[in-house]
Amino acid sequence: MSKTVELARHLETLKINNMYKNDFYWTWDKTDDEIDAVFTVADALRDLRERNKSTRVFDSGLGISIFRDNSTRTRFSFASACNLLGLEVQDLDEKTSQIAHGETVRETANMVSFMADVIGIRDDMFIGEGHKYQKTFMDAVKEGYRDGVLEQQPTLVNLQCDVDHPTQCMADMLHVIHHFGGVENLKGKKVAMTWAYSPSYGKPLSVPQGVIGLFTRFGMDVVLAHPEGYEVMPEIEEIAKRNAEATGGSYCKTNSMAEAFKDADIVYPKSWAPFAAMEERTKLYAAGDKEGIAALEKRLLAQNAEHKDWACTEEMMALTKEGKALYMHCLPADITGLSCAEGEVDNSVFDRYIIPLYKEASYKPYIIAAMIFLSQVKDPVRALMAMDEAPEQRKCF
């Protein structure tokens, strides 16, 4: 029995009827079975590709991507996922588009979705805005489908919003699952999701929020560490607490990086902006207050600079479980002495973990493909079985 068949049989045991024709906004919207299904299909698609099996679901069709922020990793991951399933990517570049001043999201959404099966949106810049944009967009295409404007109802893959970064965090988690040899080995593992110093400012909160919102579902002991003033959204902390209670793990917070690293099995040190400052920034941008933005930037950089000791140094790493915690990052990292003078992580630490870091990233295309698959394929078990048996090859000769 191939790995894919094994995974398909596991998929059969899960309750996932709600996934078909549904969007993927946040991991905490999804049941445990649904999260499991994404990991299962991701592994199956990877197995099929390794065995040169065709995984095309679509003979034609478009995946529309909207990146309201620069992106390499996520852009190529989305393109890879679409291609894997037979969709062609069409990017909405808002710079070369004729989107009229004041044109509604509803109009744009319908105009770019004529043959779209999937929409991928990254909008992580402004607290309170990214998710709202995605929601408005998807409500519009749902209406468009209902009204007969669109022949198909596209589904969303959230490629990062102001709240969650589900494709990143699920790729991170799948990496953790494989690293520790299965989800059953995660109970009691200590995870340190910690802030780290970066010479830039204003990095999104979606990764730390996504990590505490997801990793707490696996019975792990999740610690969020950051200097005072770098709080994340309280609603997400509530979710983390509830998850931990439900799975026999724990969630706690500290203002000491060392305390978080102490005996940790996994460390995820990464810079982010203070939530309150990001709220302020959103308001300043809305008001077009350039002076206010410049002053805020200055203040934030100064505030960051007070915490240069929050770095993933060799000394910090030595505090972790046997000095060998799994170091994680969503990349690109600010590497001390390589990409900046002082940053999130020592070059020697980063360098030692390069292969695991790249593997971590390599799950993202499959996570995205699995999200698309589960929202677009009516009978995913049958589809995987058929792909496993079919003579069709990805590379034909």
User: Does position 77 bind a copy of itself by CB under 8 A?
Assistant: yes
Count of CB atoms situated within 10 Å of the CB of 344? 26
Binding segment (CB under 8 A) for a copy of itself, from list 158-166, 212-220, 309-317, 379-387 = 379-387
Spatial separation of the C-alpha atoms in residues 55 and 390, rounded to whole Å: 10
Nearer to a copy of itself, 240 or 335 (CB): 335
Q: How far apart are CA 156 and CA 66, in angstroms?
A: 11
97 scored as a contact of a copy of itself (CB under 8 A): yes
Full DSSP string of 239-271 = HHHHHHHHHT-EEEEES-HHHHHTT-SEEEEE-
Q: Judged by CB, which is closer to a copy of itself: 305, or 338?
A: 338
Determine which residue in the list 46, 175, 203, 307 makes contact with a copy of itself, applying CB under 8 A. 46
* Residue partners of 240: CB distance under 8 A and separation at least 6: 212, 213, 216, 222, 224, 251
Scan residues 337-366 and list those touching a copy of itself (CB under 8 A). 338-340, 354-355, 358-359, 361-362, 364-365
Which of the ranges 34-42, 180-188, 258-266, 376-384 carries the binding residues for a copy of itself, by CB under 8 A? 376-384
Q: Give the interface segment with a copy of itself, choosing from 96-104, 205-213, 233-241, 283-291 (CB under 8 A).
A: 96-104
Binding range to a copy of itself, per CB under 8 A, among 32-40, 73-81, 187-195, 231-239: 73-81
Of the pair 90, 254, the CB lying nearest a copy of itself is at 90
The single residue among 72, 228, 234, 291 that binds a copy of itself, judged by CB under 8 A, is 72
The least distance separating a copy of itself from the CB of residue 95, rounded to whole angstroms, comes to 9
DSSP state of 98: -
- Name the residue nearer to a copy of itself (CB basis): 50 or 389: 50
Q: Which of 75, 179, 242, 253 touches a copy of itself by CB under 8 A?
A: 75
Picking from 203, 209, 202, 127, the residue whose alpha carbon sits closest to that of residue 166 is: 209
Residue among 147, 228, 291, 322 that touches a copy of itself (CB under 8 A): 147
Q: Which two tokens stand for residue 145?
A: 């489908």
CA atoms within 13 A on the CB side of 85: 33
Residue 108 touches a copy of itself, criterion: CB under 8 A: yes
Contact with a copy of itself (CB under 8 A) among 7, 16, 27, 61: 61
Q: How many CA atoms lie within 13 A of 352 on its CB side?
A: 14
Binding letters toward a copy of itself, positions 295-334, x by CB under 8 A: ------------------------------------xxxx
Closest CA to 247 of 224, 215, 208: 215
Number of residues that bind a copy of itself (CB under 8 A): 87
The yes or no reply on residue 389 touching a copy of itself (CB under 8 A) is no
Instruction: Tell me the residue type at 10.
Output: H
Q: Could you tell me the CA-to-CA distances from 249 to 189, 228, 266, 324 in Å, in that order?
A: 9, 25, 15, 21
Which helix (H) or strand (E) segment is 14 a member of? none
Contacting a copy of itself (CB under 8 A), which of 13, 31, 104, 255?
Answer: 104
155 membership: H or E segment, kind and range? strand 155-158
Least gap, CB of 136 to a copy of itself (angstroms): 14
Q: Which amino acid is at 303?
A: Q
